[in-house]
Amino acid sequence: GAPINAANIDALSQHFPLCMKHLHTTLRKNNHLKHFGRLQYTLFLKGIGLSLEDCLVFWRQSFKTITDDQFNKEYRYNVRHSYGDVGGDANRRGRGYAPYSCQKILTEHPPGTGEAHGCPYRHFSVDNLTSMLQATGVHDRDVLRGVKEDVEKKRYHIACNRVFEWAHKSEIKRVKDEGIWGPAELETIVHPNTYFKRSYLLKN
């Protein structure tokens, strides 16, 4: 598959769960993301294996409307901090912060107006969620109905897993049939980075 570097994030975003797709498309649309969005997305990108250098290049190029000087003053430090390159206590030095789990994204810092972080299954209206799913190629009526029922029961990550299983159904069938993946590899996804990793492996 596409190597994990700054130039390939658009291509790699096909493997992102909806939360990260939303951050990515918002970033591309606005050439900017607010603080919690940058944090959630930076840690996810670190988790997929993007190097600090590539992550800095990615953000610098994505913020199209600001100067290098502004970028260096206002944004560079926080990206380095997330990677553990600067700041933090001795514990985090060299390692930085852990990418957020679904649990954390679902329960902490709900997004306000103009913010794109959070989980679309949890923080979007059903109509907006359905539109976003359709925009990302999920047209199957049973899947959309299932997602609606899941989110009404507040089973947000189940909705996310439902979409994953649908979007990867032929690949999942193949690795199961060939005995390459067993139940352990197909456990319910509870972390955005697991979603990515599994999709990246299955589609390559």
- DSSP 3-state assignment of 185? helix
CB 53 to ligand SF4: min, Å: 26
* Nearer to ligand SF4 (CB atom), residue 63 or residue 121: 121
Q: Is 192 in the site for ligand SF4 (CB under 6 A)?
A: yes
Q: Which of 15, 17, 58, 162 binds ligand SF4 (CB under 6 A)?
A: 17
Q: Which of 147, 156, 162, 199 binds ligand SF4 (CB under 6 A)?
A: 156
Stretch that binds ligand SF4, among 14-22, 29-37, 134-142, 145-153 (CB under 6 A): 14-22
Q: Is 195 in the site for ligand SF4 (CB under 6 A)?
A: yes
Q: Is 44 in the site for ligand SF4 (CB under 6 A)?
A: no
CB 52 to ligand SF4: min, Å: 23
Q: Which of residues 84-113 bind ligand SF4 (CB under 6 A)?
A: 102, 105
Q: What would the DSSP string read from start to end of 99-168? A: PPPHHHHHHSS---TT---S-HHHHS-HHHHHHHHHHTT---HHHHHHHHHHHHTT-HHHHHHHHHHHHT
* Nearer to ligand SF4 (CB atom), residue 19 or residue 56: 19
* Nearer to ligand SF4 (CB atom), residue 85 or residue 115: 115
Q: Which of 45, 50, 56, 160 binds ligand SF4 (CB under 6 A)?
A: 160
x/- string (CB under 6 A) for ligand SF4, residues 117-136? --xxx---------------
Closest to 122 in 3D by CA, of 192, 193, 199: 192
CA distances, 2 to each of 13, 110, 152 (Å): 11, 32, 36
The set of residues, in sequence order, having a beta carbon less than 8 Å from that of 100 and lying 6+ positions away, is 40, 43, 44, 192
Closest to 79 in 3D by CA, of 61, 91, 65, 64: 61
Closest to 110 in 3D by CA, of 123, 101, 120, 98: 123
Residues forming the site for ligand SF4 (CB under 6 A): 17-19, 102, 105, 119-121, 156-157, 160, 192, 195
